[in-house]
Amino acid sequence: MRHRERASYERATVNAILDEALICHVGFMAEGQPYVLPTTHARIDEQLYLHGAAANHMLSSLANGAPLCVTVTLIDALVLARSYFRHSMNYRSVVVLGAARAVTDPEEKGRAMHALIERVHPGRSALIRPPTPQELDVTTVLALPIEEASAKIRTGPPIDLEADYARPCWAGVLPLELKGGTPIPDARVPPGLAPPREIAAWSRKPRSRS
C-alpha cells in the first residue's frame, strides 16, 4: 500500500488539508509525558491558531517555547483488499512542527476567533453577538507559524499481490463522507425560526474520492 502514498511539502496542499479538517490533535510534553489533545484550529495565511482544551493545557509548557506538533487527518475512504496487509485507508494528513506563542494582542485574538467560527460555520459571525473585550481577555489562543509542515496522502484502489487477484472476493474503495443530519434547535429558539441554509445543508465532503 505504500506505493499509493506520497509525501508533499507544497504549501497549497498543506493548507487545503488544514482548512478542511474540523479538529486537530496537538502533541506536547509535560513533565516527561507526551500528551495528545484534540482542539479546534483555524489558519490565517501562514499562522495556525489553536483554541480549546489543548491550548489551555499547553500554556504552562509554552513559557519556554517548548516544541509541539499539530496533526490533522482526513479519512477519505476505506480500502478493501484481498489479503489482510493490503487493507488500508485513503487519507490526507498534515504534520506541523514548531513552537507556539500565546496571542495577547486583542485585535489578533479577535481575528483568530473570527476565523475559527467562519471556517466551520460560514456566515455565522454576522448572526451572533460579537465577543466583548472581557471575553477576549480571558480566552486562550495560541499561534503556530506554519513553517515546518508536511502532508501525507494515500489515494486509489488497493494494491494486491498478483496471486491474490484470483480470489473471488470483492475489493475496492468505500468513500466516506462526514455529513450533517437534521439540525436540532435548542429550547429557546423561537417557533418558526428555521436554521440557516448553511447549517441545514452542512457537509464536509472528501475532495479526493477514489
> Which residues between 133 and 172 bind a second copy (CB under 8 A)?
135, 139, 152, 157-158, 160, 164-165, 167-172
CB 204 within 8 A of CB 22: yes
Residue 134: exposed, middle, or buried by beta-carbon count in 10 A (0-12, 13-18, 19+)?
exposed
Give the nearer residue to a second copy in terms of CB position, either 50 or 158: 158
Give the three cell numbers for residue 22: 474540523
- Is residue 199 part of the contact set for a second copy (CB under 8 A)? yes
Query: Do the bridges between strand 148-154 and strand 5-8 make them parallel or antiparallel, or are there none, so unpaired?
Result: antiparallel
Q: Which stretch binds a second copy (CB under 8 A): 9-17, 41-49, 100-108, 202-210?
A: 202-210
- Is residue 128 part of the contact set for a second copy (CB under 8 A)? yes
Candidate list 60, 124, 137, 207; residue touching a second copy; CB under 8 A: 124
Q: Which stretch binds a second copy (CB under 8 A): 12-20, 41-49, 100-108, 190-198?
A: 190-198
- Is residue 34 part of the contact set for a second copy (CB under 8 A)? yes
Query: Which contiguous run of DSSP H or E holds residue 147?
Result: none
Tell me the backbone φ, ψ of residue 93, rounded to 5 degrees: -130, 155
Judged by CB under 8 A, the chain residues 64 through 103 that form the site for a second copy are 67-71, 73, 75, 78, 80-85, 87, 89, 91, 93, 95, 97
Distance CA 108, CA 173 (A): 43
Q: Which stretch binds a second copy (CB under 8 A): 8-16, 41-49, 100-108, 175-183?
A: 175-183
- Secondary structure of residue 168 in the 3-state scheme: coil
